[in-house]
């Protein structure tokens, strides 16, 4: 069984980004990422901090904009509009989820699609469906595909089952893996809570991807012998023996499933580190598309 090391692959991606940033700096160019945080959610604050820290380590320009939880829809839209016209900013990310009174869909639609490095704008979703290489792909699905490529796990002709149909992971990942070209050409089934005989459907998968946000949901009876399992889940569960009183687990019961797999991602240390790495990569792509 191969343990897929997301930390190592993410570091490889960031090293590639650092090399590109050095070449761009020699041309007087500096990609910039703006991260907007609304409210005081601790997890969101930690994610934003990690993104800004990574930018600093790479020497990439970044702006962290922290807004109060009471920020209005109009005020947030004004911030996005300012960033759309800021020539030093090439990527814009509004950390999700925002406070309940914010219409997140409207915020996403207000971002310039050329700066939508999260890949959630309808223009980019359509571009992904149309296999337009200029479209931005959401970072977590892109990270999943990169892990498969780095470990030479064939997708062409493979039967892939994705558990979860969100616009953040499930749907864009399905489009990505069934697209023509390297890392694609798979036969993809998107399963969800209304699926009949979910374990049976999952057992047909050569590559099983869990992205439903339910800790330990995928057990050994979901997995055929020799399958590859990609665990996208990041769940916090209580653990009195842990220093913080909790631990992070995936959507897959790792101890039960791993012995049946040819390859599997751990949680933490699997898909998670890839998300920020692909965000940085998308920001460099945005700078290139904007400036040529």
Which two three-digit tokens encode residue 196? 């009949």
Residue with tokens 């990505």: 176
Sign of CA dihedral 117, 123, 125, 127: negative
- For the residues of 212-276, what is the DSSP string, one character each? S--TT-B-GGG--TT-EEEE---EEEE-TTSTTSEEEE-SB-HHHHGGG-SEE--SSSSSHHHHH
Catalytic residues: 51, 95, 118
Rg (CA), the chain: 19
Residues 6+ away with beta carbon under 8 Å from 233 = 210, 211, 212, 213, 214, 215, 217, 249, 250, 251, 252, 267
DSSP assigned state of 180: S
């Amino acid at each position: 069984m191969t343990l897929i090391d997301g930390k190592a692959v993410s570091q490889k991606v960031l090293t590639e980004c650092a090399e590109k940033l050095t070449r761009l700096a020699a041309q007087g160019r500096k990609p910039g990422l703006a991260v907007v945080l609304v409210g005081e959610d601790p997890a969101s604050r930690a994610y934003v901090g990690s993104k800004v820290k990574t930018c600093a380590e790479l020497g990439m320009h970044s702006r962290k904009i922290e807004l109060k939880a009471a920020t209005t829809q109009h005020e947030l839209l004004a911030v996005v509009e300012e960033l759309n016209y800021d020539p030093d900013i090439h990527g814009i990310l509004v950390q999700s989820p925002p406070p309940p009174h914010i219409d997140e869909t409207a915020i996403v639609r207000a971002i310039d699609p050329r700066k939508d490095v999260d890949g959630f704008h309808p223009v980019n979703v359509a571009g992904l469906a149309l296999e337009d290489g200029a479209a931005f792909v959401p970072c977590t699905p892109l990270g999943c595909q990169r892990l498969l490529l780095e470990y030479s796990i064939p997708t062409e002709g493979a039967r892939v089952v994705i558990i979860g149909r969100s616009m953040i992971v499930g749907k864009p990942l399905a489009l990505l893996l069934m697209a023509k070209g390297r890392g694609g050409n798979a036969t993809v089934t998107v399963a969800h809570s209304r699926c009949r005989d979910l374990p049976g459907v999952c057992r047909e998968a050569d590559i099983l991807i869990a992205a439903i946000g339910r800790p330990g949901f995928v057990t050994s009876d979901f997995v055929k012998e020799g399958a590859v399992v990609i665990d996208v889940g990041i769940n916090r569960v209580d653990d009195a023996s842990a220093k913080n009183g909790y631990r992070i687990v995936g959507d897959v019961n790792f101890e039960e499933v791993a012995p049946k797999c040819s390859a599997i991602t751990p949680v933490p240390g699997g898909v998670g580190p890839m998300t920020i790495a692909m965000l940085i990569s998308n920001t460099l792509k945005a700078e290139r598309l904007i400036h040529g």
